């Protein structure tokens, strides 16, 4: 799910108070080994060049009040981010581009179900070269000892906790059908690869994925493609209508 963006510091408290009752319900319905993944953008104190602390306050409250464990923080980097707001970035030149959002992975227990072998990435050329040539066992400047097992091909490299997915889709079935039927296109859609990553990483086939703030339901589409069951809640009926296009029979054939 994704949380709302525009909050200054005074509003931060309001936001945390608004969010906690939802979080308690997420905790209640989550399986013991399940995960809760929260996408949240940082924000600034209104009228200043400095940062609101609401993301940090929310993390603390989710752990202290709701009993979630913070499993790991991910940073979602967005290379195409605009230099906004203009006042601070392009006029006063005080800030740089804000090109990341947080993806916070919470769990119900200290040992959530997760498997990083399901989200391995292709090896870099440098790594392929090392695997071919072999690696001499030695102690690195950091003090870490790299043993000879480092050479083993394990099917891909373990991803880092920063993820780069651009929102560049421009000609999908969803967009075309919304345009055709005059339905409002959701303005804040996930890139498909984002929910896909966490669904693969944290769930197995047949598990249930729930997106309580589903928007155009990219999460449901990814879950469907990956053979998971899914539930989607969304306040706006128009967004729900649009989201149905993701599951057209024709579209299913395109995915298959
Ligand atoms: C950032 S959008 C999610 C976009 C989605 N990730 C996608 O890829 O299309 C958040 C959505 O939450 C919905 N929303 C806000 N409050 C809600 C509530 N109380 N219950 C259900 N949906 C809500 C909004 O209408 C909005 O569509």
C-alpha dihedral, 176 to 180 to 183 to 184, nearest 10°: 50
What pLDDT, on a 0 to 100 scale, did the predictor assign at position 6? 43
> In this structure, are 247 and 181 located in the same domain?
yes
Q: Is 34 in the pocket of ligand 1 (CB under 6 A)?
A: no
| Spatial CB neighbours of 230, under 8 Å, sequence gap ≥ 6 | 208, 209, 210, 211, 219, 220, 223, 224
- Residues of the chain below pLDDT 70: 1-10, 135-138, 146-151, 168, 171, 250-256
Question: What is this structure's pTM?
Answer: 0.89
Domain identity same for 88 and 19 = yes
Same domain, 5 and 101: yes
6 and 109, same domain (yes or no):
yes
Q: Does ligand 1 come within 6 angstroms of the Cβ of 190? A: yes
Same domain for 129 and 175: no
CATH number at residue 48: 3.40.50.150
The residues, ordered by sequence, that sit 6+ positions from 25 with a Cβ below 8 Å of its Cβ are none
Counted domains in the chain: 3
Q: Tell me which of 192, 212, 213 to substitute to probe ligand 1's pocket, judged by most ligand atoms within 8 Å of the beta carbon.
A: 213
| Residue 163 CB-density burial (10 A; 0-12 exposed, 13-18 middle, 19+ buried) | buried
For residues 206 and 152, state if they share a domain: no
Structural domain range at position 220: 169-256
Q: Are residues 152 and 174 in the same domain?
A: no
What's the confidence (pLDDT) of residue 123?
85
Q: What is the pLDDT of residue 166?
A: 75
- Beta partners for 162? 75
Q: Whose CA is nearest to atom 5 of ligand 1?
A: 215
Same domain flag for 147 and 245: no
Length of the chain (residues): 256
127 shares its domain with 193: no
Same domain, 153 and 173: no
For residues 1 and 98, membership in a common domain is answered with yes
229/188 same-domain check: yes
Q: What are φ and ψ of residue 73, in 5° steps?
A: -100, 135
CB 140 within 8 A of CB 178: no
List pLDDT tens digits, range 95-152.
Answer: 999 999 999 999 999 999 999 999 999 888 888 787 777 766 667 777 777 666 666 7
């Amino acid at each position: 799910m994704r949380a709302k963006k525009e909050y200054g510091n005074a509003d931060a408290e309001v936001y945390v108070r608004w969010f906690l009752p939802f979080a308690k319900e997420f905790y209640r319905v989550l399986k013991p080994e399940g995960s809760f993944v929260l996408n949240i953008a940082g924000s600034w104190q209104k009228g200043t060049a400095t940062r609101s602390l609401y993301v940090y306050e929310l993390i603390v409250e989710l752990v202290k009040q709701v009993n979630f464990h913070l499993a790991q923080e991910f940073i979602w980097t967005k290379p195409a981010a605009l230099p906004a707001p203009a006042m601070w970035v392009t006029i006063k030149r005080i800030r740089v581009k804000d090109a990341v959002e947080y993806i916070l992975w919470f769990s119900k227990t200290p040992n959530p179900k997760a498997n990083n072998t399901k989200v391995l990435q292709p090896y870099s050329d440098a790594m392929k070269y090392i695997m071919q040539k072999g690696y001499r066992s030695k102690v690195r400047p950091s003090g870490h000892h790299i043993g000879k097992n480092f050479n083993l091909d394990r099917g891909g490299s373990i991803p880092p906790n920063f993820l780069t997915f651009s929102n560049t889709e421009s000609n999908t079935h969803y967009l075309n059908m919304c345009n055709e039927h005059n339905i409002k296109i959701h303005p804040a859609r996930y890139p498909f690869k984002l929910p896909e990553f966490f669904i693969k990483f944290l769930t197995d086939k047949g598990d249930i994925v729930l997106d309580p703030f589903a928007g155009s339901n990219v999460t449901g589409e990814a879950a469907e493609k990956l053979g998971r069951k899914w539930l989607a809640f969304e306040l706006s009926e128009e967004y729900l209508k649009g989201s149905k296009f993701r599951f057209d029979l024709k579209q299913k054939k395109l995915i298959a």
